Structure 1
Amino acid sequence: MISKKFNLLIISDRYPHEKDTISSSFVKSQVDCLKNYFAHVDVIALTPFVPRLLSRSSFMNPRWRRDAFAQDYEYDNVSVFFARYFTLPFEFSRRRRGDEAFKVVEKIIRRRKMHFDLIHAHFTYPSGYVGAKLKEDHKKPVILTVHEDRDGFLKEIFSNNRKIIYTWNFVDKIIRVNKKDLMEFKRLQIDESKLMFLPNGYSQDLFLPMDSNNARIKLKLPLDRMILVNIASLE
C-alpha cells in the first residue's frame, strides 16, 4: 500500500498543452508515473509571455507562438500552471530569465496557496535555477534532472555562468541521463555525492512484441532492405 502523504512540485521549461502536445511530453510521462506516489502534484511550466496578437508573427519562435494559447488545466491529482514571464530572444535577456521566471512562480505559489514537500526541476536554466531559489525561500529539498543534450550541457559547464553554478551547487540531487557526463561536473568541483545517473525510460505498453519481419509486414516495409529509423520532432 502506497502512503500518499506528500505533495510534489514540478518546475519545467515546458509542459504539454492543448495546442502543443509534444514539447517536453517526456516530463508529463514521468509525472503520470510519479503522481501515483503523491497526494498531489503541482506542475509549473515556465512560459515566455507572448501576446496573442503576435502569435502569428513569422519572426516568433514556433513554440512561443503555440504557448500564447496555453491554458492551465487539471487531471487526476495533477494541477498544471503556465508561468508567463517576460523575456526577449536575445542573450542578455536570457541571463535574466531565471529571476523573471522565479518572481512569476512565487506569485503562483502564493496565489494558489501551494504546499509541497519536494521540488523536481527539469533542465538547469531557468527551471533548475528557479528550483534552487525556491529551496532558499521554502526550505524544501530539490532534485534537478539535467536533460540538456551534450553540446548544450558542455556549453553550460564552460560558461562560467554564476547562476548555473549556483544551481548545481545548491540543489540536493542532480540526475544526468548520460552517465559519461557525470565526470564533467568534477571540473566545477560539484559534490560527487549528489550526482546520479538515471537514463530516460519508456513505456513497454507502447510497443508490440514481435520479430523484425512481422514488424515490417505490419508497417508494409520491404523485407530485404536496410531501414534507418529517426525519431524526432520536426519543425
Structure 2
Amino acid sequence: MPIDTKNLLVVSHRYRSFQKDPIDLVSPYFDNVYVLVRFNKFANISDYIHIPALQPFVSSFKIDCANKPSNLEVYKTSFFNLPFDSQYKALGDKHLKVVEELIRKKNIKFDLIHSHFTWSSGYVGAKLKAKYRVPFVVTAHGYDIYRLPFKDDEWKSKIEYVLNSADAIITVSRSNLECIRKLDVKTPVVVLPNGYREDVFHPLNPYECKRSLGLSSDKKIVLTVGNLEEVKGHKYLIEAMGRVVKTRKDVICYIVGEGKLENKLKKQIKSSGLLDYIKLIGGRPHNEIPLWMNACDIFVMPSLKESFGVVQIEAMACGKPVVATYNGGSEEIILFDNYGYLVQPGNSDLLAEKIIIAIDHKWNSEEILKFANKFNLKNQKKQILDLYNLVGDGDESCITGSISN
C-alpha cells in the first residue's frame, strides 16, 4: 500500500528546526501526520521567572508551527519531570503513559511510527509498535547515542531495547554509526545527515541583512548558533575572541542561543573586557537565523562534541565558511580547506588563529554553496520516503542496500 494512503505518527522532543523540516517535507505523502512533542511541566516556571537553564525546554522553544502543513497536527504530551538521572531513566514510562492517553482521547489512527531520539521518544515508539503492530523507525541524533548508552549497563540495556525494537534506524553521522556498532544491535542502520531547507537558507545581500538586524556595516562579524551548554564550547570561543581583538578591533562576535550557561558566559565576557566585541543575543526565531547567517563573515562552531551540527550546513548554504572543531560531526563536513578550517576542541589559541585567517581569506562562495547542496533536504526526501516504504512492506533486509549512505 503506498504511503500516501497512510497516517504517520511522530514522537519527538521538539517540532522545530532539524526535526520539523524533514517532517514537513514528507507530510504531503501521507493522509495525516500527528506530531507528539514531549513537554516537561517543570519548565512552565520559566514563563514567570527567567531561568536560563529552562529556556530550551519551554514550549515556545520546542514548537514552531510557522508554515505548518495543513494535514499535520501538533500535540503537547505534558508531564512533570525533575532534571536528575534517576528521573530521566524513569522518563520512558511517564512519556508512554501520556502519549497513550492522547492517542485514546484524540482517537489517533496511525500506520507508521517515527521517533526522534532514542530516549525517551524511541522507547515510546518501541512500546507503541508492540501494542499496535505497526512499523517503527527511530532516529538517533546525538547525545542519545554517543553518550547515553555508555553511561552504565542499565542505560545500555534501555537503548539497545529501543534500537532492536525498530524496523530501521536512522542516524545523522558516521561517528554516530560507530557508536551503534559498539552496541548489541541487529537492526539495519541508515546514515542520513540532517539537512537544510533551500527555501529558508540561501544567499541574501549581506548589507541588507545587516541593516535589517541593526548591525554595523563596517564590522567583520563572527557568528555562532547553539544552546548555551558546556558541550557547545562557548567558553573557548570567548577566550579566542580575546586573542582576536588584540590583532584587530573591527571584529564583533554574536552568540545566538539560550541555556543554563547564560549568566556564566555573561560574567566571562565582562571579566575579559569584551563587552564591545561579544554579544549574547539569546534565542532568535528560526526564520531570523538566515539573516544572521548571511550577515556574518564567518561561522564558528567551537563544540566539544557534535553528532553532526546542521547549523554549519545552514551557514554554508548561505555561502559562508566555517571554523569548527574535530567534534565528531564537523570533520564529516569540513572535508577541505575550501570550506573552512578545523581545530582541536578546547584549544582557544588555535581557534583564534583560524578565525583571524578565515576573516582575511578570500573565500569562493560558489564552491561552498555547491558542496552544501549535498545536504539539501529536497535531495534527502526520496531517501526518507524509500525507507518508509521498505519498512511498510516489511522488507528491512533491503534497507542498507537501497538507501544511499
TM range (shorter): 0.7 to 0.9
Q: 2: distance between equivalents of 1:139 and 1:91?
A: 31
In the alignment, the residues of structure 2 paired with residue 216 and residue 62 of structure 1 have an alpha-carbon distance, to the nearest angstrom, of 30
2:122 alignment partner AA? G
Q: 2:33 aligns with which of 38, 41, 53?
A: 41
Are the aligned partners of 2:13 and 2:117 in contact in 1 as well (CA < 8 Å)? yes
Partner of 2:114: 120
1:51 positional shift = 8.1
Aligned partners of 1:168 and 1:53: how far apart in 2? Answer: 34
In structure 1, the residue matched to 2:83 is 89
Q: Tell me which amino acid in the other structure corresponds to 1:99.
A: D
Q: Using the TM superposition, give the Cα deviation of residue 83 of structure 1 relative to its aligned residue in structure 2, in angstroms.
A: 0.5
One-letter identity of the residue aligned with 1:89? P
Query: Which structure is larger by alpha-carbon Rg, 1 or 2?
Result: 2
So what's the TM-score if we normalise by structure 1? 0.79
8 Å contact kept, 1:50–1:67: no
Change (3 A) 1:112 1:69: farther
In 2, distance between residues paired with 1:34 and 1:45?
18
2:357 counterpart residue number: none
2:70 matched residue in structure 1: 76
CA contact (8 A) 1:10 1:43 kept: yes
1:19 is aligned to: none
CA distance in 2, matches of 1:75, 1:104: 24
Q: Which amino acid aligns with 1:234?
A: G
Q: CA deviation at 1:158?
A: 1.2
SS in structure 2 of the partner of residue 101 of structure 1: helix
In structure 1, how many angstroms separate the alpha carbons of the residues matched to 2:208 and 2:170? 38
Does 2-11 or 174-183 show the bigger shift?
A: 2-11
1:56–1:207 Cα change, 3 Å: closer
Supply the AA of the counterpart residue of 1:156: L
Candidates 160, 174, 181, aligned match of 1:179: 174
8 A contact 1:52–1:69 mirrored in 2: no
Q: Please state which structure has a larger fraction of its residues in helix.
A: 2
Report the CA distance between 1:154 and its aligned residue. Answer: 2.3
Q: Is the partner of 1:106 in helix, strand or coil?
A: helix
Looking at structure 2, the residues matched to 96 and 185 of structure 1 have their Cα atoms a distance apart, in angstroms, of 23
Please say if 1:32 is aligned against 2:24.
Answer: yes
Cα distance in 1 for partners of 2:224, 2:43 equals 35
Q: Report how many residues are paired.
A: 215
TM-score, normalised on structure 2?
Answer: 0.48
Mapped partners of 2:72, 2:82: distance in 1: 30
| Backbone CA RMSD of aligned residues | 3.0
1:137-148 alignment to 2 at 5 Å? 137-148=131-142
Correspondent of 2:191 among 185, 188, 197: 197
The percent of aligned pairs where both chains have the same amino acid is 33
Cα gap change, 1:118/1:84 in structure 2, threshold over 3 Å: closer, same or farther? same
CA distance in 1, matches of 2:45, 2:175: 45
Picking from 244, 253, 257, the partner of 1:234 is 257
Counterparts in 2 of 1:3 and 1:87: CA distance versus 1, 3 Å: closer
Q: Distance in 1 between matches of 2:170 and 2:140?
A: 6
5+ long unaligned stretches in structure 1: 16-23
Q: Does the Cα contact within 8 Å between 1:35 and 1:78 map onto a contact in 2?
A: yes
How far, CA to CA, are the matches of 1:147 and 1:198 in structure 2? 10
| 3-state secondary structure, aligned to 2:185 | coil
Give the gaps of 5 or more residues in structure 2.
211-216, 227-255, 259-405
> Structure 2 vs 1, CA of residues 53 and 205 (structure 1 numbering), >3 Å: closer, same or farther?
closer
* Deviation (angstroms), 1:176: 0.8
The CA deviation string for residues 128-181 of structure 1, in whole angstroms up to 9 with x for no partner, is 1111111111111111111115xx532123133122221111111111111232
Name the residue aligned to 2:54.
61
Q: Deviation digits for residues 195-232 of structure 1, max 9, x if unmatched?
A: 0000111122224457xxxx555556569x6x644233
Secondary structure of residue in 2 paired with 1:107: helix
Q: Quote the offset at 1:109 in angstroms.
A: 0.6
Q: Deviations over 1:46-79 (max 9, x none)?
A: 1112385674245561234x339999x8850011
Distance 1:32 1:77, change over 3 A: same
